[in-house]
Structure 1
Amino acid sequence: MEVKERILAAAEGLFLQYGFRSISMDDIARHLAVSKKTIYQFFSDKDEIVCLVATRHFNREKELCKERIFDQAENAVHELLQVSRHIKTTTMNANPSIMFDLQKYHPKAWQIFKDFKLGFILQHLRRNLKQGIEEGLYRADINVEIIARLRLEQIQLAFDASAFPPTEFNFFDIQLEFLDHFIRGIVTEKGLQLLTEYKTKEHHHAQ
């Protein structure tokens, strides 16, 4: 792995664990056992690293979601549940402050996230809802655009420490409750039956 890629990989791990604000260029250099001068040979400042880390992360997310979820899901309900598991895997050790830090201290990187959210995520939510309606799993009378944006904001709301203090709430528990509430609000009787079957299987596998 080339030096620049090593720096970005290390920075991403540190940012996810401790938040963007808490990690300095010194911390990254110390973690890699290199001089700060070495890092400045590749990056002008911390903000550039944060932006490149964000771009790298979201590009990887697009590839993973396509390969492991969208191309393999059995139906629209199964896809949403698979996305939920993926969120659990990718955010299990994430610091709850990352979204707040990104928005407040790194506006360019925050814009990268917004582009990912309003582009990739929203596009696939719309597609999932339309697919679910066609499969007879979601109610035909839902407003796809409104419901897609509602789900989009639910995902981000779980990161809001003012609404859900991390000392009181587990991030993934919030996401699970949101998803369960969301799916039950849009499924048909057929969709609910399928959801129950998937949850029963998941419960048995967890035991």
Structure 2
Amino acid sequence: MKEKILDKATDMFLTLGFKSVTMDDLAHEMGISKKTIYAHFENKTKLVETSTLELFEVISKGIDTICSLQKNPIEELYEIKKFAMRHLKDEKASPQYQLQKYYPRIHKTMRKKQFELMQNCVVDNLKRGMELGIYRSSLNINFIARIYFTGVTSIKDHTLFPEDEFPISQLMDDYLEYHLRGIVTPEGRNILNEIIHSNHE
């Protein structure tokens, strides 16, 4: 039952937002009593925390699997973006933003975990791209990896990028293209243009 509650809660949090979903909503949606939920999770904060950690693990494993395929580094970044967006339901309810606003302690923990995961992944991606000659050889890897993480997390700030003006899936595509155009060689640019072209078809 605990897993079922967690799955349904995660689904509702991502669709409607961490703030919007109450324990009553969850109980009603599942056709169970609130008492049943509280038997597994002492309060909503604990449920939010467990839900975000579980989701992080799923996304983390998925990213590891994508990275282990050793695809072309440019293609790899697009695959990771697609995978993450699918699991975050295109971030329709701005989960990151709501987490930061209403559950700052959980958000801080998650941000640290995200940074460590992305740092390893992006550093490896940059090194391989440079070895293959599709990223410029003069890149400062540590700087690029950190600025990439900063950008990916900052574009989720709705005060900077209001949703009605910047739909999240388009925003992610624009940011990824912006990041890659700054680091590719002419050969890498050809690969990037091909991917962008095929995504638009």
With 184-193 and 86-95 compared, the bigger mean Cα shift is at 86-95
With 151-160 and 84-93 compared, the bigger mean Cα shift is at 84-93
- In structure 2, how many angstroms separate the alpha carbons of the residues matched to 1:52 and 1:147? 31
Question: What is the aligned length?
Answer: 201
Pair 1:53–1:92, CA change in 2 (3 A): closer
* The one of 88, 91, 96 aligned to 1:99: 96
* Deviation (angstroms), 1:96: 4.0
* Deviation (angstroms), 1:97: 3.2
What amino acid maps onto 2:29 in structure 1? H
What amino acid maps onto 1:152 in structure 2? F
* The one of 181, 184, 189 aligned to 1:184: 181
1:137-173 alpha-carbon deviations (Å, 9 max, x no partner): 1111111111111111221122111011112221111
1:30-87 alpha-carbon deviations (Å, 9 max, x no partner): 11111111111111100000110011001011111222x2122422111112122223
- In structure 1, how many angstroms separate the alpha carbons of the residues matched to 2:89 and 2:52? 18
Q: Could you list the runs of 5+ residues in structure 2 that have no partner in the other structure? A: none
Trace 1:3-14 onto structure 2 (pairs within 5 A): 3-14=1-12
What amino acid maps onto 2:129 in structure 1? G
Contact in 2 for aligned 1:139/1:188 (Cα 8 Å): yes
What amino acid maps onto 1:139 in structure 2? R
Q: How high is the sequence identity, in percent, across the aligned residues?
A: 30
Corresponding residue for residue 126 of structure 1: 123
Q: Could you list the runs of 5+ residues in structure 1 that have no partner in the other structure? A: none
Trace 1:34-53 onto structure 2 (pairs within 5 A): 34-53=32-51
Contact in 2 for aligned 1:125/1:148 (Cα 8 Å): yes
TM-score normalized with structure 2 length = 0.93
TM-score normalized with structure 1 length = 0.90
Pair 1:125–1:113, CA change in 2 (3 A): same
